[in-house]
Amino acid sequence: MIAQRYQLYVERIDAKKNMARYYAMSIEPNLFGEACLIRRWGRIGARGQRREHHFARE
């Protein structure tokens, strides 16, 4: 079981390059009690992409 949830969110904005991106990572428990690393990224204001990685322990 995870002792503490972790979250990280950063944005990268560069108006000259028309760049507005976000990157997010979090560690959360899944339904089976395993640690799950969730990565999300994409353009700010859009749904973006998501990947999940499951681990037996934190």
What confidence score (pLDDT) does residue 43 get? Answer: 97
Parse the chain into domains and list their residue ranges: 6-55
Q: Look at residue 50 and give its three-state secondary structure.
A: strand
Tell me the per-residue pLDDT of 1-57, one tens digit each, with 9 for 90 and over. 677 789 999 999 999 999 999 999 999 988 888 899 999 999 999 999 999 999 887
Q: Measured at the alpha carbon of residue 34, what is the angle toward residues 31 and 26, in degrees to the nearest 5?
A: 90
Per-residue tokens: 46 = 């859009």
What confidence score (pLDDT) does residue 56 get? Answer: 83
